[in-house]
Amino acid sequence: MNQKNNRGVAVLLVVAATVLLLGGVLSYLKISVKKNDQQPQLISQIPDNWLIYRNPVHNYEIKYPPEFHAQTADEPPYPPPPTGMSFSRNWDNSNWCNLEIITFTDADGFKGEINNLRQRKEDIESQAVIGGVSATVFDTQDSEAIHRSYYFDKETRHFRLGYNYNIAGKYSQDCTEIISRMIASFKLN
């Protein structure tokens, strides 16, 4: 009888150890996949001929290609600089690419926008690092374009960097690479 109990205990220990080992392996794989899925790749090599936009009010700078149009204070979209800033390029009627930067001074409005996106559950949420600060990223797609927004804050400054590009456009890959480099060049001063 004592031998049967010892065998039963040994079998239970082997089963428990196997379950723990498999659980650990699955947990590791899940974390690894999740981390890889949540790291949008930013291309950081910036060409020498790129221009620099400096925002003296909200203390940031970003580099952009000379082919892109930088928004001026008297043109749309709203809000105009220095609160908002837009960089855009149109290759032809159906191929376009743009990056918008919005600076929030109202923390509640900033957090409310993030919460609204989370409640919609249409966007895929991930994480990235922008200008040395952790950012929440939301991706969504409609029939014509892909939209990606980065939300991050530092002290009393709250930022949304968002870009859109035409899915079927022949320059969509170029747009992705250019915007990725622009976002990688973003610096908080």
pLDDT band (50, 70, 90) for residue 135: very high
Paired sense of beta strands 187-188 and 124-130, if any: unpaired
Return the residue matching tokens 């859109």.
Answer: 164
Across the chain, what does the average pLDDT equal? 80
pLDDT of 149 strictly over 80: yes
Q: What is the pLDDT of residue 47?
A: 92
pLDDT of 120 strictly over 50: yes
Element (H, E) at 67: none
Up-side HSE of residue 26: CA atoms within 13 Å toward CB?
Answer: 6
Q: What is the pLDDT of residue 73?
A: 86
CATH class, range 51-188? alpha beta
pLDDT of 14 strictly over 90: no
Q: pLDDT, tens digit, for every residue of 57-96?
A: 999 999 999 999 999 988 888 888 889 999 999 887 677 8
Q: What is the pLDDT of residue 164?
A: 81
**73: which residues sit within 8 A by CB, 6+ positions away?**
80, 81
Enter the pTM of the model: 0.73
Q: What percent of the chain has pLDDT over 90?
A: 45
- Output 41 or 37, whichever has higher pLDDT: 41
Backbone φ and ψ of 109, nearest 5°? -65, -40
Q: What is the pLDDT of residue 39?
A: 43
pLDDT of 151 strictly over 70: yes
Q: What is the pLDDT of residue 45?
A: 84
pLDDT band (50, 70, 90) for residue 1: low
Question: What is the DSSP annotation of 102-143?
Answer: EEES-HHHHHHHHHHHHHH--SEEEEEEETTEEEEEEEEE-S
- Bridge partners of residue 133, in order along the sequence: 130
Q: How far apart are CA 166 and CA 10, in angstroms?
A: 62
Name the residue ranges covered by the structural domains of the chain: 1-37, 51-188
Q: What is the pLDDT of residue 56?
A: 92
pLDDT of 31 strictly over 60: no
Q: What is the pLDDT of residue 69?
A: 94
